[in-house]
Amino acid sequence: MHRIPDFIRGARVHFTFDHRTIEAYENESLASAILASKHNVLSRSIRYHRSRTVFCSTGECGWCAVEVNGESNIGACLRKCADGLTVQSQNAWPSAEMDIFSLLNMVRFSLTNTFYHRLFLYPKFLRQFYLRCIRLFTGVGRVQSKPLPQTRRTVANIHSPVVVIGNGLTGIGAAVTVAERGEHVILIDRGEAISKRKDDVGISPALLELIDKIKTLPQLEYWSNSNCVGLYENHTLGVITPDKLVTLHAKQIIFAVGALDAIPLFAGNDLPGIISARLAERLILKEGIAPGKKAVVWSVLGQSQSITSMLQHAGIEIVHQLQPEESIIEAKGGKQLYAVIIREADGRSRSMACDSLMIDALQPRNELLTQVGGQLQWDESTNGLVAMRDATLQTSVKGVRVVGEAAGCFMDENRCLVEARLAGFSALQDLGFDGIQDEINRLKEFSHTKRFDSINFPANSLNGVGYICFCEDVMEREIKLQMQDGYQSPELIKRRTAIFTGPCQGKYCRANAMRVYGVDVGATTARPPATPIRMKDLLSD
């Protein structure tokens, strides 16, 4: 990565990373500042200590987790730079760049995830010693001996007729629709105060208009920096706000939680230099950071033009734009990607030199819905499981609706607003509001949303060495070995390989895993919390 010339930046700051001073700017994230300062590695994976930098745009993949001022597992892609910060890499010694434990990566093919089930059993008196040694190579981050600052939250029990989760265009539109009819609604999002979004580069006029409306609607209550961690029976939500632990009771719930960046299955699919197109957009437009010099773009044709235009504006050479019939066979590199091998439409392969691979692919978020048994269906065009909805966007759980990207829909702004208004009006009708049936019928005519086009995801990788689980370094071949041994159930495969058990909680590996062991087999059971939380977040008075 490197900084784009003539970009207007924030104030200059300095912090340390692995005992080296980094010069950065306030508008930059820790991840982009470190990588733009000639560092190639941010952290290491848990099991084989493979190099990690950044991939996703939401901070949930866990690739860029670092320790900041003694607090472990901070997403470096989301934490802004500030003077005096002390940042250290995780799962590495003495540093992420020169990690001695990365030698494990050289013997990864002889160390399956179940090797300790058969080894280190004898002599018996050394078993506890073996276990203590193995534990040195597990876990994420370090437990600090000194207590960190703590905030005790108050416990609250709150009721609201309508709750909307997600503050994108669809979520805000649904909340505004409800509030304009005079009904109380709570809008929840993990992000910062919504007023700060007005300064975002490229923000749409429609979203700006909705943000301005929020100020004029006293019925709309906005909770920023709030994490909805669980959905329970009777429409009960568990929410952690900056000062409260809330048990939130709703009559109608609208999920507008968006989609996650998706990673296709191919050999070397976790190498530094492979990033999502959404992250590349944020780095270029908001932070003035170019994620590479020579890029290969893997995108659907409908989106490729805007992506290539953005990259060229940042001075990045487009080496190749994959066509619909093409796919990546293998990515080559160590601490940095240097080439990809592409399978062409006629079956032949060719190598392309590059230092970045931009992947434009999404997968719907549905972890909260599945906690209460919401029914999902496999849809390859959306790269995975999507919620089953009726004509009013209601799921199999009565009173719960899913809209926008979370439902697997690729939409322009107009279609986004249609879904938002339809979900809002339908929720109001279920609450007993009259005089809105004509509006609902009109919106239904435009709500037959097209599933967003996705790239063609491979169902297998070269020699089975593509990574399915990036948290626990589980390769495709390891899953197939367990299946050959008779472990066909996803729950059993999870126990044998530790897949789905890492910091991302299976969000980034579920779709590819289901392609390997069969989409008809199903997925593992989803349980709260929907996102990782810290024990200190549960402290209360």
Percent over 70 (pLDDT), the chain: 94
Q: pLDDT per residue over 229-282, tens digit each?
A: 999 999 999 999 999 999 999 999 999 998 899 999 999 999 999 999 999 999
| Same fold for the pair 154-260+364-444 and 463-531 | no
Rounded-to-integer distance, Cα 64 and Cα 73, Å: 9
pLDDT of residue 67: 92
pLDDT of residue 513: 92
Rounded-to-integer distance, Cα 499 and Cα 524, Å: 10
DSSP class of 537: G
pLDDT of residue 174: 95
Rounded-to-integer distance, Cα 165 and Cα 180, Å: 18
Residue 382's pLDDT band, with cuts at 50, 70 and 90, is confident
Please say if the pLDDT value at position 350 is more than 60: yes
Tell me which CATH code domain 265-360 carries.
3.50.50.60
3-state SS, residue 170: helix
**pLDDT-wise least confident of 176-185, 206-215, 378-387:** 378-387
DSSP class of 453: P
Please say if the pLDDT value at position 411 is more than 70: no
Please say if the pLDDT value at position 539 is more than 90: no
Question: Can you say whether residue 165 is alpha, beta or left, with left for phi > 0 and alpha for psi between -120 and 50 degrees?
Answer: beta
pLDDT of residue 394: 94
Please say if the pLDDT value at position 333 is more than 60: yes
Please say if the pLDDT value at position 4 is more than 70: yes
pLDDT of residue 198: 65
Query: Going by C-beta distance under 8 Å and a sequence separation of 6 or more, which residues neighbour residue 46?
Result: 91, 137, 138, 139, 140, 471, 472, 473, 502
pLDDT of residue 453: 63
Domain 154-260+364-444 homologous superfamily, CATH: FAD/NAD(P)-binding domain (3.50.50.60)
**Of 383 and 19, which is predicted with more confidence?**
19
Q: pLDDT per residue over 61-89, tens digit each?
A: 888 999 999 888 899 998 999 999 999 99
**pLDDT-wise least confident of 43-47, 54-58, 378-382:** 378-382
Percent over 90 (pLDDT), the chain: 50
Residue 98 CA to chain centroid, in angstroms?
Answer: 28
Q: pLDDT per residue over 211-223, tens digit each?
A: 889 889 999 999 9
Rounded-to-integer distance, Cα 68 and Cα 438, Å: 54
Q: pLDDT per residue over 144-166, tens digit each?
A: 767 767 778 999 999 999 999 99
pLDDT of residue 22: 95
Contact 483, 493 (CB under 8 A): yes
Quick one: tokens of 382?
Answer: 């959306």
In CATH, the architecture of 463-531 is Orthogonal Bundle (1.10)
Mean pLDDT of 407-418: 77
Question: Can you say whether residue 214 is alpha, beta or left, with left for phi > 0 and alpha for psi between -120 and 50 degrees?
Answer: alpha
Q: pLDDT per residue over 265-279, tens digit each?
A: 999 999 999 999 999
**Of 200 and 420, which is predicted with more confidence?**
420
Q: pLDDT per residue over 467-497, tens digit each?
A: 999 988 999 999 999 999 899 889 999 988 8
State the residue for tokens 């044709």: 301
- Nearest Cα to 241, choosing from 255, 221, 256? 221
CATH pick for 1-145 out of 3.40.50.300, 3.40.30.10, 3.10.20.440, 3.40.50.1820 = 3.10.20.440
Mean pLDDT of 394-398: 94
Q: pLDDT per residue over 82-107, tens digit each?
A: 999 999 998 888 898 989 988 888 88
| Beta strands 384-387 and 337-343, pairing class | unpaired
The one-letter amino acid at 301: L
pLDDT of residue 288: 92
Q: pLDDT per residue over 420-473, tens digit each?
A: 999 999 999 999 999 899 888 888 877 654 555 677 888 899 999 999 999 889
Please say if the pLDDT value at position 120 is more than 80: no
pLDDT of residue 523: 81
Q: pLDDT per residue over 14-26, tens digit each?
A: 999 999 999 999 9
The average confidence (pLDDT) of the chain is 88
3-state SS, residue 2: strand
**Of 141 and 89, which is predicted with more confidence?**
89
Element (H, E) at 356: strand 356-359
CB atoms within 10 A of CB 23: 12
pLDDT of residue 536: 84
Rg of the chain (C-alpha set): 23
Element (H, E) at 310: helix 301-313
CB atoms within 10 A of CB 82: 15
Q: At what angle do helices 510-517 and 476-484 cross, to 10 degrees?
A: 40
pLDDT of residue 115: 67
Mean pLDDT of 292-297: 94
- Break the chain into its structural domains and give their ranges: 1-145, 154-260+364-444, 265-360, 463-531
